[in-house]
Amino acid sequence: PRILFPGLQTCVFLFTGDPLTIYTLPSSSAVLGSTALLKCRFNIGGPINLTALQVHWYFSDQSVAQYDRGEEIFAPGVSISKQELQIGNASLGMENVQMSDEGQYTCVVGYGAERQESETTLRVLGKDGTKVLA
């Protein structure tokens, strides 16, 4: 292999702004059959260029929503607002929530070469607002 500087092991990190930060609420709840909003916020320390932004939402390691530099792919009944992405809001909207939607979700945000992820749990409640027993 071609080695420019054998034996030299220096690593340089160049940050052109604040590092990417991301946060979610630990859990959210929604009534069976209603809508849910799984909150995910991110900050890059400046204006957001949507052509450098990637957002992926996973449920049990399965992709349910993806925004990749302007391209949007969503499972039926879920959405991410492109307008909200411009202000650092990558929250996932879900329609007609079912018991099968309950569980852990992961929000992954990539911006340029940076990538961060955060997890949140959706709990589904009965029509009377109480926990549904399986």
pLDDT in tens, 12-58: 334 445 689 999 999 999 999 999 999 999 999 999 999 999 999 99
Number of residues assigned to the chain: 134
Cα 109 to Cα 57: distance, rounded to the nearest angstrom: 9
Fold of 21-125: Immunoglobulin-like (2.60.40)
Distinct helix (H) and strand (E) counts, the chain: 1, 11
CB atoms within 10 A of CB 64: 21
Q: What is the pLDDT of residue 131?
A: 73
Closest CA to 78 of 88, 93, 100, 89: 93
Above 50 in pLDDT, residue 77? Answer: yes
Cα 40 to Cα 66: distance, rounded to the nearest angstrom: 14
